């Protein structure tokens, strides 16, 4: 399979929602000969609005609920739609209740009961306590005392119902988007971070699965060791798993997590795939990642159990960083395509040669850059050395604008799938960057201008897809998700 797609998080759509703009984007993908839409995680975000620090590994982000659809259904007056999100979601819920549509919500709640009830309670308690993290709640609620939990369910029943409604509306909008994608023969790629946020419903509900002290605070946290990028490494702060405990029940939480992800998406990117082979363990009281140690990850046994439960796994391995032979063996054993980033090909990265398109293997997904990179135009303008720019220009040997030269280079490669951030096809600079790693605030806010994706742009992408045989042919059905990368 040779295919191509675009990377755009739904919050970067002109409206930032799963409404009409999302469906127009799918139409653009189809017109441009793109088979895939890749997103970042779509869970409810907490502090800093990072999709990689979600309040739940299962829930959807209510910030993506479509206002337009609620207005169309008569659940939201036009004037209420201009209010803050939480306010208009409450107005919509009240109208929903008055219309006697409770049975629809009940059916959804029953089907998602395994995660939804704990998440709704977590959110209700969190809102009642000024959004502070769960380790700062009253001890009985923090520790899930049965009597305290029963009382909270009763006292916060209305707020719990509000959270259920928000998840129900996200589900409806998502299902509508899936139908549009199916009609356009576009497949969705999601993102599953290996670690979850400490302040999340998952950690509060399943404390036994994480390395925590009695008060719920982490014993050890995740990160990566010092390298040529950082002399102190990166201390991410996510709690680490009790992998042996998870193994005893067949990694049930993970199986449920992947099953939920594959209900929403046709394939998923495994963020920090390296961590499944080995991970960097940092004592929680250490301010940096320097005093950590490598620990063995769950490895092949984990993916074997998951595959037995779910069938062949349509996973993309984000295998960037300290890639050891064990990481590569693990990826290849389960036929997961790896990741190649063209921006890394021209600097001082020790693996730079592997990121040059002429060295790609077939089983990779190639990107000009990702959400953590500067845009291609921004990267080229702001490269730390002239030698990096000269190396890129020499390698590309193109008279095209730098972003189109980079796009063409990955399209020409043997990579089975090429995914390009929308910012790059638009030729935008650093002002359109999605994330600056290590900078806690000001990320994840970029939005595309209305009308930016023009018919001429679709034609140019489609022509490029046709030239390098990435254009889907009319009679060719898209494969089932388990065969996406076979």
DSSP helix/strand/coil, 293: strand
Which is it for the CA torsion 265, 269, 210, 49, positive or negative? negative
Angle 75-117-253 (CA atoms, 0-180°, nearest 5)? 125
Question: What is the rounded distance in angstroms from the CA atom of residue 178 to the CA atom of residue 365?
Answer: 23
- Helical segments of 101-200, H only: 102-111, 113-128, 139-142, 146-155, 157-184
Question: What is the rounded distance in angstroms from the CA atom of residue 406 to the CA atom of residue 389?
Answer: 12
Residue 422 is given by DSSP the state: H
Backbone angles phi, psi at 235, to 5 degrees: -105, 100
Residue 159 tokens read as 């707020």
3-state secondary structure 314-374: CEEECCCCCCCHHHHHHHHHCCCCEEEEHHHHCCCCCCHHHHCHHHCCCCEEEECCCCCCC
Q: CB–CB of 258/236 below 8 Å?
A: no
Question: What residue has token string 């984007």?
Answer: 25
Q: Which residues are catalytic?
A: 271, 318, 372
239: β partners? 221
β strands within 225-314, DSSP E: 234-239, 267-271, 278-283, 293-296
Question: What residue has token string 């009763």?
Answer: 154
Question: What is the rounded distance in angstroms from the CA atom of residue 82 to the CA atom of residue 88?
Answer: 8
Backbone angles phi, psi at 349, to 5 degrees: -60, 130
């Amino acid at each position: 399979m040779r295919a191509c797609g675009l990377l755009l998080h739904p919050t970067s759509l002109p409206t930032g929602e799963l409404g009409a703009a999302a469906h127009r984007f799918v139409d653009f993908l189809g017109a441009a000969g793109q088979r895939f839409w890749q997103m970042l995680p779509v869970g409810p975000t907490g502090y800093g609005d990072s999709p990689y620090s979600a309040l739940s590994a299962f829930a959807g982000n209510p910030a993506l609920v479509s206002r337009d659809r609620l207005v169309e259904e008569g659940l939201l007056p036009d004037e209420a739609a201009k209010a803050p999100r939480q306010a208009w979601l409450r107005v919509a819920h009240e109208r929903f209740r008055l219309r006697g549509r409770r049975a629809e919500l009940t059916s959804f709640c029953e089907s998602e009961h395994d995660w939804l009830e704990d998440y709704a309670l977590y959110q209700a308690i969190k809102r009642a306590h000024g959004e502070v993290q769960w380790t700062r709640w009253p001890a009985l609620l923090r520790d899930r005392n049965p009597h305290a939990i029963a009382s909270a369910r009763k006292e916060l029943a209305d707020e719990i119902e509000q959270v259920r409604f928000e998840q129900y509306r996200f589900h409806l909008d998502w299902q509508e988007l899936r139908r549009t994608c199916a009609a356009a023969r576009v497949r969705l790629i999601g993102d599953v971070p290996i670690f979850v946020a400490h302040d999340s419903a998952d950690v509060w509900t399943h404390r036994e699965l994480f390395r925590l002290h009695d008060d719920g605070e982490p014993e050890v946290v995740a990160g990566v060791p010092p390298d040529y990028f950082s002399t102190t490494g990166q201390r991410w702060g996510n709690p680490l798993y009790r992998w042996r405990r998870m193994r005893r029940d067949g990694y049930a939480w993970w199986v449920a997590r992947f099953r939920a992800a594959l209900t929403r998406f046709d394939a998923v990117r495994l963020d920090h795939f390296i961590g499944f082979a080995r991970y960097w363990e940092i004592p929680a009281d250490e301010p940096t990642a320097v005093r950590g140690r490598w620990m063995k990850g769950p490895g092949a046994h984990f993916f074997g159990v998951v595959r037995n439960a779910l069938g062949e796994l349509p996973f993309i391995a984000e295998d960037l960083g300290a890639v050891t032979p064990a990481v590569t063996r693990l990826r290849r054993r389960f036929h997961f395509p790896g990741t190649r980033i063209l921006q890394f090909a021209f600097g001082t990265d020790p693996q730079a040669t592997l990121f040059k398109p002429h060295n790609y293997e077939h089983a990779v997904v190639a990107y000009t850059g990702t959400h953590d990179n500067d845009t291609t135009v921004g990267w080229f303008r702001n490269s730390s050395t002239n030698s990096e720019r000269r190396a890129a220009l020499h390698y590309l040997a193109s008279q095209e604008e730098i972003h189109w030269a980079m796009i063409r280079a990955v399209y020409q490669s043997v990579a089975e799938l090429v995914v390009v951030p929308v910012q790059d096809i638009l030729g935008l600079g650093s002002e359109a960057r999605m994330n600056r790693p290590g900078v806690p605030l000001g990320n994840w806010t970029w939005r595309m201008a209305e009308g930016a994706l023009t018919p001429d742009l679709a034609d140019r992408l489609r022509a490029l897809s046709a030239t390098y045989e990435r254009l889907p042919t009319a009679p060719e059905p898209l494969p089932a998700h388990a065969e996406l990368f076979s």
